[in-house]
Amino acid sequence: MAPRSDTRQSGTHQSGTEELDATIRIATPENIAFQYQLAGPFRRLPAFLIDLAIRMGVLFLMAMVVGMLGLLGPNVASPIWMVFIIIYFGLEWFYGTLFEALWNGQTPGKWLLGLRVLTTSGQPINGLQAVVRNLFRLLDLMPPLPLAAFIAGAPIVATLPTGLVGLMSCLMSPRYQRLGDWLSDTIVVIEEKAWLPGTVKLEDQRAAQLATYIPPTFVVNRTLAQALATYVERRPYFSLARRREIAKHLAEPLVAKFGFPADTGYDLLLCALYHRTFIEAQPGEVGGDHRAFGSQPQAYGSIQPPQAEGIYFVK
Amino acid sequence: MKVAALLAERQVRWTELEMLCARIESTGSSGLPPETLTRFATLYRAVCADLALADAYQLPPGTVHYLHALVGRCHNQLYRGKFFDFEAWGRVLLIDAPQTVFNDRCVQLVFVLFWGVFLLSAYLAATPSAWPQYAEEAITREQITTLETNFKNPPHGRDPSENYVMAGYYIQHNTSIGLQCFVTGLFIVPGLGTLVFNASFLGACFGYMARPDVPEGINFYEFVTAHGPFELTAIVLSAGAGLRLGISVLFTRGWTRLSSLQLAAQDAMPVMGSAMVLFFLAALVEGFVSPSNLPYAAKATVAILSSLLLLIYFVVLGFPRGGIRATR
């Protein structure tokens, strides 16, 4: 397990929105912080069931093959059955361990659902952690529910795991850790393949025209830029009346501020502002637009990130 | 420069990185030429820088989300775990495990508890005058009948071809019990419960079979002698390692309860590893030596040799010799 005391600081230090969105912030050796979304118990259950089904399926197929080989006589069948039983034992206890160690924190079920096991500091897990978190799944599946509760006459040893311990443990952890995760200091995150939305193409030409009337002294600050981007990305999904209703809160004061006619469309104004902020450089504006950097100090004015320079020399 | 122009410029690199990442995800990094890997690392650093400056560039939230996901995926491919480090495993089993066991108060406590209950139970079951009907109460009548029928004949009547299946079964069954004993040890009571139940049950069986009026006793002892040392030691180790977990939550030695538990789990794994090896050895002996036609002297020799091996393992290899653990 990773260094012992200080690493989990990075996980527990969460701001308000991170707690709301159940994300975890991870600092990389490259000295930047990025976010993962944590996987909750009901996101992980299907992965577990898929893995269970795979295990059962493999055992079933193997049992059929071994059963057929058994027809060759007891001297052949017996050693094969021994191997089969040992593999059964191995799958029962070490299926997850093996895959998580070999596949860098994923089992087939987790791979299908885009989950991955990491340490709480975002590092890959090591073999020891893979062993610990999979051994203690036994406790997470407790308490067992005796089948005799539903089926009269079922033997008392026939039980169904309920997983309540693991569920409670997940709910009590800020990072959705089950007992095995607590013990091995690991988390499960959602590793998504997000698509790049880019900027929105505004089909309405009036937005570009209106943009030229916005006073050049007006500075769009960071939060306003975020709000604009969010609004314009989502407005295609809203009806006209709804757009107007949402845009009103932001646009009404701006109309007054810019001195536009009172019948200016609220939606159109926000689109124009978006166009001016994100898409088209103003006439007379050269290269680096300092306003685009909001409150950032001048040192960030160079668009080229310092580390990125090397890539022009490789191939 | 506006975001649209910036995105158009960067998108080329991001897409290239995405494709490289997908390639590494599917085939692993070993098959790729070094230039590609360097390219991957360079692009990764560039996208890290883009993400770091996302605020300054005023990138839209959707793009920032995309960058987080992309950096996350690449981070997971760039930094990978190492599992099959056999040298480390050997070190753990031959150096760490015996030293931990030798110094571990929990293993010692469980050792005393197991053998205390075992011997007491055996004494009570063997001498009907001390506690009449003890054996019947501890083992139950049906189990005694099963035991007696199982050991009616000397234990070499089994078809040798069955040995493999039985050895496999012993490995699966006994190791599972050991692992359960270890894992439930975290809650202390179930772990110790399993241990005490097994100790009293086994003790009663041994005691009952030692009665002079039980003719099956001689066959029973011939069967259990050879694999006894490995198997009983293994169960003691499992329960001891489990108890260590439970105790670590109560007595934290200055750590937080969670850290204390995590450390204990880390320390218990070598012990559990050696217990598993012992379960495997015991199962092989139980499957192939115990039911064989070998004379009793040979089986007793196996038992003595395995006991000696255990002594060397835990006392000679385990004797404290400084190092990191000396201060703990």
Choice between B114 and B27, residue whose per-residue pLDDT is larger: B114
State whether B71 and B184 are in the same domain: no
**B275 at A interface, C-beta within 8 A:** no
The answer to whether the CB of A191 falls within 8 A of the CB of B72 is yes
The per-residue pLDDT for range B270-328, each reduced to its tens digit, is: 888 899 999 999 999 888 888 888 888 888 898 999 999 998 888 888 887 655 454 44
**Nearest of A13, A3, A95, A101 to residue A47 by alpha carbon:** A95
Q: Which residues of B touch A116 (CB under 8 A)?
A: 76
CB contact under 8 A, A32 and B49: yes
Which of A1, A79, A311 is nearest residue B262 as measured by Cβ atoms? A1
The per-residue pLDDT for range A108-134, each reduced to its tens digit, is: 999 999 999 988 888 888 888 888 899
Which of B1, B3, B176 is nearest residue A287 as measured by Cβ atoms? B1
Map out the domains of chain A as residue ranges.
9-190, 197-282
State whether B204 and B284 are in the same domain: yes
The answer to whether the CB of A162 falls within 8 A of the CB of A191 is no
Residue B61 distance to chain A (closest CA, Å):
6
Residue A250 distance to chain B (closest CA, Å):
18
| Helix locations, chain B, DSSP H | 3-27, 34-52, 54-57, 61-78, 86-91, 97-103, 105-126, 134-139, 141-150, 162-184, 189-209, 217-224, 228-250, 257-288, 296-311
Residue A115 distance to chain B (closest CA, Å):
11
- What mean pLDDT comes out for the span B25-42? 82
DSSP 8-state code for residue B305 = H
Domain end, chosen from B53, B78, B103, is at B78
State whether B191 and B300 are in the same domain: yes
State whether B47 and B127 are in the same domain: no
State whether B131 and B45 are in the same domain: no
Which of A82, A184, A311 is nearest residue B164 as measured by Cβ atoms? A82
- What mean pLDDT comes out for the span B118-131? 88
Which of A77, A135, A277 is nearest residue B183 as measured by Cβ atoms? A135
Residue-number span of the structural domain to which B177 is assigned: 87-327
State whether B102 and B66 are in the same domain: no
DSSP 8-state code for residue B327 = G
Q: How many structural domains comprise chain B?
A: 2
Task: Tell me the ipTM for this assembly.
Answer: 0.81
**B117 at A interface, C-beta within 8 A:** no
Percent of chain B whose pLDDT exceeds 70: 95
- Coil, strand, or helix at residue A151? coil
**Nearest of A118, A134, A103, A109 to residue A37 by alpha carbon:** A118
Question: What are the backbone angles phi and psi of residue A189, rounded to the nearest 5°?
Answer: -120, 160
The per-residue pLDDT for range B56-115, each reduced to its tens digit, is: 777 888 888 888 888 888 888 888 766 666 777 788 888 888 888 888 888 889 999 999
- The residue of A5, A18, A86, A178 whose CB has the most chain B CBs within 10 angstroms, and thus the best one to mutate to test that interface, is A86
- Specify whether the backbone of A176 is left (phi greater than 0), alpha (psi in -120 to 50) or beta: left
State whether B41 and B109 are in the same domain: no
CB contact under 8 A, B265 and A292: no
Domain end, chosen from B11, B45, B78, is at B78
pLDDT of residue B30: 74
Mean pLDDT for chain B? 84
Q: Which residues of B touch A78 (CB under 8 A)?
A: 161-165
**Nearest of B88, B46, B84 to residue B270 by alpha carbon:** B88
- What mean pLDDT comes out for the span B259-267? 89
State whether B117 and B220 are in the same domain: yes
- Angstrom distance (rounded) from CA A286 to CA A217: 15
CB contact under 8 A, A126 and B159: no
pLDDT of residue A19: 60
- Coil, strand, or helix at residue A159? strand
**B53 at A interface, C-beta within 8 A:** yes
State whether B301 and B179 are in the same domain: yes
- Angstrom distance (rounded) from CA A30 to CA A309: 15
Q: What is the pTM of this model?
A: 0.77
pLDDT of residue A103: 84
- Name the B residues in 140-159 with CB < 8 Å from any A CB: 159
pLDDT of residue B34: 85
- Name the B residues in 6-25 with CB < 8 Å from any A CB: 6-7, 11, 13-15
- The residue of A8, A10, A32 whose CB has the most chain B CBs within 10 angstroms, and thus the best one to mutate to test that interface, is A32
Name the strands in the sheet holding A186-190, side by side, starting at the edge strand that comes first in the sequence.
A23-27, A33-38, A186-190, A115-119
- The residue of B39, B79, B82, B83 whose CB has the most chain A CBs within 10 angstroms, and thus the best one to mutate to test that interface, is B83
Strands A186-190 and A33-38: antiparallel
- Specify whether the backbone of B254 is left (phi greater than 0), alpha (psi in -120 to 50) or beta: left
State whether B130 and B16 are in the same domain: no
Q: What stretches in chain A show pLDDT beneath 50?
A: 1-15, 284-315
pLDDT of residue A33: 81
| Angle at the Cα of A119 from the Cα atoms of A118 and A120, rounded to 5 degrees | 115
State whether B19 and B160 are in the same domain: no
State whether B65 and B175 are in the same domain: no
CB contact under 8 A, A128 and B269: yes
